[in-house]
């Protein structure tokens, strides 16, 4: 009996043994299969997320009435629309693969996001390209898609102290030098923006370096920033005028050709360069360090804060924009237009519009929610009516500071190429 039982037991064990072995071997492929499924699921989730983001950016860029979505899209679309188009095309491809593998519901959703994001962002790219090329600019689309870099990654060749602030601190100019064998170079005095309360001379250093690489001597100006306790409506413009005078005085040393001099301002900086240029043309520019303020051959104004009174009274309705622009105006002047009407009158660029005056290139972001395009274009009409030569470039689908998100973006390339085409005519 024991022998029979042992035989049965042995046979049972023998039968079970192979089954257990078979079970083990069949479970081995399950781990890589689960990993593959996880990878596919993660890929689809990422495709949905990126496709949705790209679709929202594209649609919000084209449709102005979507509140903060439209505002944010207009701020970043001139930078990321080409890449968003590529992302949309990739998502579309993944959606088609899902449909072919029988995943109809998932494939339909992914394909939908891909179609919308591709078409919407491609439309943004086309609209921007048409506007830029019509204004004499150019864009390398491959670089705009795959060659983005930091807007502040360059450094000036040297800095020089040109004046003191009201508190006695040094104020300097940052100088970007072109490669040149001999002689002087056409010169750009650049004045940064920031609502008179923020910003610094090298915030867009990559663009300034590119201008130098194209043969310009670029002198970027540091000026005194306003605070609630220090209104700079007199000191900052006179410091900008002093910097221009410093360029004139040191032209031989720094290699500046002041017969081919342009003033270039961004946002609030545009206000000060336009006012300084107008006053210099009339012979009454006030420099904080004395000396003669040169009259530039041209002025470039990026999304300019020409109307300081309008900056306060016509503050845009975008999220947070109204309070911000009023803070710019009140910090700069020390109060409201009702409190200091004479200060606002001096700060408003229309006050300084008298012929003869240097020609002006004004680039206006048509979705600007910081400085209303209406105020900018109104200034241009007033300037023309007073005999000032103003060239206006309307940049569609773009918000304030659109070129300064990344170097080589559509916004940055278009901005620089339009300006350089203008300067090549004016500084000949």
Domains of the chain: 34-134 (no CATH), 158-426 (3.40.50.1820)
Q: What percent of the chain has pLDDT over 90?
A: 75
**Three-class SS string for 286-300?**
CCCCCCCCCCCCEEE
Tally of CA atoms within 13 A in the half-sphere of 92 that contains its CB: 14
Write out pLDDT tens, residues 401-416: 999 999 999 999 999 9
Asked if the model's pLDDT at residue 307 lies above 90, the reply is yes
Contacts of 408 (CB under 8 A, 6+ apart): 140, 143, 144, 147, 148, 149
For 35, residues 6+ apart whose C-beta sits below 8 A from its C-beta are none
| pLDDT tens figures, 358-405 | 999 999 999 998 999 999 999 999 999 999 999 999 999 999 999 999
What would the pLDDT profile of 28-44 be if each residue is shown by its tens digit? Answer: 556 677 776 677 677 77
- Mind spelling out the 3-state secondary structure of 207-252? HHHHHHHCCCEEEEECCCCCECCECCCCHHHHHHHHHHHHHHHCHH
CA-nearest of 399, 401, 425, 403 to 414 is 403
**What is the band of 15 on the pLDDT scale with cuts at 50, 70, 90?**
very low
Question: Which residues have a Cβ under 8 Å from the Cβ of 354 and sit 6 or more positions away?
Answer: 278, 281, 282, 386
Q: How confident is the model at residue 64 (pLDDT cuts 50, 70, 90)?
A: confident
pLDDT > 50? residue 17: no
pTM assigned to the model: 0.88
pLDDT bucket at 59, cuts 50 / 70 / 90: very high
DSSP per position, 16-38: HHHHHHHHHHHHTTHHHHHHHHH
Residue 84 has pLDDT above 90, yes or no: yes
Taking 80 as the threshold, does the pLDDT of residue 8 lie above it? no
User: Strand, helix or coil at 162?
Assistant: strand
Local confidence band at 87 (pLDDT 50, 70, 90 cut-offs): very high
Residue 318 has pLDDT above 60, yes or no: no
- Residue 302: enclosing H or E segment and its boundaries? strand 298-302
The neighbouring-strand residues paired with 219 are 175, 189
Alpha carbon distance 41, 107 (integer Å): 12
117-130 pLDDT tens trace: 999 999 999 999 99
pLDDT for the residue 355:
86
| pLDDT tens readout for residues 327-364 | 999 999 999 999 999 999 999 999 998 889 999 999 99
Residue 1's pLDDT is what?
Answer: 43
Give the per-residue pLDDT at 7: 47
Measured CA distances, 175 to 156, 210, 315, 347 (Å): 5, 13, 35, 27
The Cα 380–Cα 391 span in angstroms is 8
Token pair 């309008």: residue: 310
Among 3-12, 167-176, 222-231, the range scoring the smallest mean pLDDT is: 3-12
Using DSSP, state whether 258 is helix, strand or coil: strand
What is the reported pLDDT for 20? Answer: 47
Q: What value does the mean pLDDT take over residues 243-262? A: 97
Question: What is the spatial order of strands in the sheet that 158-164 belongs to?
Answer: 158-164, 170-176, 217-221, 185-191, 256-266, 298-302, 360-365, 390-395
Measured distance CA(288)–CA(378) in Å, rounded: 31
Average pLDDT over residues 286-300: 97
């Amino acid at each position: 009996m024991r022998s029979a039982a042992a035989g049965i037991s042995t046979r049972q064990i023998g039968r079970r043994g192979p089954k257990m072995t078979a079970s083990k071997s069949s479970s081995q492929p399950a781990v890589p299969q689960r990993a593959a499924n996880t990878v596919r699921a993660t890929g689809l989730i990422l495709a949905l997320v990126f496709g949705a983001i790209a679709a929202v950016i594209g649609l919000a860029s084209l449709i102005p009435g979507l509140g903060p979505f439209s505002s944010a899209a207009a701020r970043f679309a001139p930078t990321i629309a080409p890449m968003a188009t590529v992302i949309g095309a990739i998502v579309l491809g993944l959606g088609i693969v899902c449909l072919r593998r029988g995943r109809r519901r998932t494939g339909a959703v992914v394909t939908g996001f891909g179609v919308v994001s591709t078409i919407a962002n491609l439309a943004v790219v086309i609209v921007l390209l048409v506007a830029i090329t019509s204004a004499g600019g150019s864009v390398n689309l491959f670089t705009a898609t795959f060659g983005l870099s930091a807007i502040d990654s360059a450094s000036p060749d040297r800095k020089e102290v040109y004046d003191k602030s009201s508190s006695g601190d040094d104020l300097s100019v940052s100088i970007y030098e072109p490669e040149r064998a001999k002689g002087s170079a056409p010169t750009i005095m650049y004045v940064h923006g920031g609502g008179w309360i923020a910003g610094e001379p090298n915030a867009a250093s990559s663009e300034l370096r590119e201008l130098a690489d194209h043969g310009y001597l670029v002198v970027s100006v540091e000026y005194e920033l306003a605070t609630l306790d220090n209104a700079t409506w007199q000191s900052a413009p006179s410091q900008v005028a002093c910097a221009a005078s410093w360029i004139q005085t040191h032209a031989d040393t720094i290699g500046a050709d002041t017969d081919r001099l342009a003033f270039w301002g961004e946002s609030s900086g545009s206000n000060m360069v336009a006012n300084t240029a107008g006053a210099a043309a009339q012979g009454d520019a006030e420099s904080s360090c004395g000396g003669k303020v040169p009259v530039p051959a041209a002025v470039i104004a990026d999304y300019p804060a020409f109307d300081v009174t309008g900056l306060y009274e016509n503050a845009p309705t975008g999220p947070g924009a109204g309070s911000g622009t009023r803070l710019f105006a009140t910090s700069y002047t020390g109060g409201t237009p009702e409190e200091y009407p004479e200060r606002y009158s001096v700060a408003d660029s229309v006050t300084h519009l008298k012929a003869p005056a240097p020609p002006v290139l004004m680039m206006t972001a048509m979705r600007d929610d910081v400085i209303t395009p209406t105020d900018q274009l109104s200034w241009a009409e007033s300037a023309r009516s007073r005999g000032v030569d103003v060239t206006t470039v309307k940049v569609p689908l773009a918000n304030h500071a659109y070129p300064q998100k990344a170097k080589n973006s559509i916004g940055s390339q278009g901005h620089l190429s339009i300006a350089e085409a203008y300067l090549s005519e004016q500084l000949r």
